[in-house]
Amino acid sequence: MQASAEAQPNIALVKYWGKRDRERNLPAVGSLSITLASLRTRMTVRFSDQPTDTLIVNGQEAPAMLGRVSRCLDLVAGRNRQRAAVTSDGNFPIGAGLASSASAFAALVVAADEAVHTGHDRLTLARMAGTASGSAARSLYGGFVELTAGDGGIGLTPLAAPADWPLEVVVAITEEGPKPVGSGDGMIRSAQTSPFYASWVERQEADLVVARTAVSNRDFASLAAVSEHNCLKMHSVMWTSRPPVVYWNEATIGCLEAIRLLQAKGVPVFFTIDAGPQVKAVCTADAVAGVRGALDATPGVLRTLVSGLGEGARLVPS
Ligand code: DP6
């Protein structure tokens, strides 16, 4: 009745922002992401006769997350399941726009499924993870992943494996610590108050077509252009929400400037930013050293992390 799984966060290049169904946590828009390799969350689930579920994250009790974890376990193992002791260990900061919930829930469903031998297929597990956190569904798969949104539920398509197009991501950490507004709450606020929200949703399919084609043709310039545009559109929706949802700081803007300078010199790199102040620079392998050097030298950057692309969530020995 015990199993462990590991998963990595994913970074959306065409973003998910908005919910079509809050109850089922169904996204309003499709998205396209890359799964990382070197930032990892390991989840261990042990079902037993203990009276309540428990959750330890990086060695400390985490009551705030426990409700979501319990509801996710109900989906995988059924509501009549035994209670579970869940432990989570990660090698990167939580709640700071590095998609820690994506890797956590992806690993959780895989570990829980194994622990109770339910044998759900991958799409079913991805849908269960997505109910807990929309972006988590994508971390069930490796490399380039497209998530399609629909009233009947999400679909997932792996578009290319990590080895097919081995891009790298340099993450510039500009602030550690939890974000001011959770992404779920921010999305709801945007849908209710941003005058740009409707056109954000309406135009998403066009961006997905461009990004999907760019991945299939390994067309870096086209993927760069659509990813930056989509990221800035999402943040425009956030900024025009009431009250505004602003995740950037001065160093975030400094990083964008540094990336612009690299691009002007012909370096193959582009940026994306999620619900946090960190900047993710996506580049080719030969550009990593220069990109990292430029971001490390940007005022306000605390440190940088580098990751290639990796596989989807998988079981590991307990
Ligand atoms: C900006 O998956 O964290 O990173 O479904 O409410 O848990 P919930 O939201 P979450 O949102 C991710 C938002 C994003 C964009 C993305 O990853 O696509």
Residues 30 and 128 occupy one common structural domain: yes
Residues 118 and 16 occupy one common structural domain: yes
The predicted model gives 290-307 an average pLDDT of: 97
CA of 14, closest atom in ligand 1: 18
Residues 217 and 304 occupy one common structural domain: yes
> What pLDDT does 99 receive?
72
Residues 31 and 142 occupy one common structural domain: yes
Residues 221 and 247 occupy one common structural domain: yes
Q: Is the CB of 134 under 6 A from ligand 1?
A: yes
Collapsed DSSP state (helix, strand, coil) of residue 164: helix
Q: Is the CB of 15 under 6 A from ligand 1?
A: yes
How far, in Å, is the centroid of ligand 1 from the Cα of 187? Answer: 9
Residues 183 and 303 occupy one common structural domain: yes
The predicted model gives 90-94 an average pLDDT of: 79
> What pLDDT does 245 receive?
98
In a domain, 254, yes or no: yes
Residues 52 and 139 occupy one common structural domain: yes
Q: Which one-letter DSSP state was computed for residue 28?
A: S
How far, in Å, is the centroid of ligand 1 from the Cα of 116? Answer: 28
Contact yes or no for 277/252 (Cβ under 8 A): yes
Strands 19-21 and 26-27: antiparallel
Neighbour count for residue 220 (Cβ, 10 Å): 17
Residue 192 burial by Cβ neighbours in a 10 Å radius (0-12, 13-18, 19+): exposed
Residues 194 and 103 occupy one common structural domain: no
* Confidence band of 97 (pLDDT split at 50, 70, 90): low
* Confidence band of 95 (pLDDT split at 50, 70, 90): low
In a domain, 318, yes or no: no
The number of distinct structural domains making up the chain is 2
Pocket test for ligand 1, best of 16, 26, 148, 278 (most atoms within 8 A of CB): 16
Q: Is the CB of 25 under 6 A from ligand 1?
A: yes
Pocket test for ligand 1, best of 72, 127, 181, 183 (most atoms within 8 A of CB): 183
In a domain, 304, yes or no: yes
What's the CATH code of the domain at 87? 3.30.230.10
Residues 189 and 127 occupy one common structural domain: no
pTM as predicted: 0.97
* Confidence band of 37 (pLDDT split at 50, 70, 90): very high
In a domain, 229, yes or no: yes
Residue range of the domain that includes 10: 2-161
In a domain, 316, yes or no: no
Structure-token pair, residue 203: 């135009």
| Residue where a domain terminates, one of 146, 161, 176 | 161
Sheet containing 168-173, strands listed edge to edge, beginning at the edge strand earlier in sequence: 269-272, 279-283, 168-173, 303-307
Is pLDDT of 96 > 70?
no
Residues 183 and 99 occupy one common structural domain: no
* Sign of the dihedral defined by the CA atoms of residues 22, 26, 31, 32, in that order: positive
Between vectors from CA 311 to CA 219 and to CA 156, what angle results, nearest 5°? 70
Q: Is the CB of 35 under 6 A from ligand 1?
A: no
Closest residue (by CA) to atom 6 of ligand 1? 184
Cα dist from 172 to 38, 176, 227, 302, whole Å: 15, 11, 17, 8
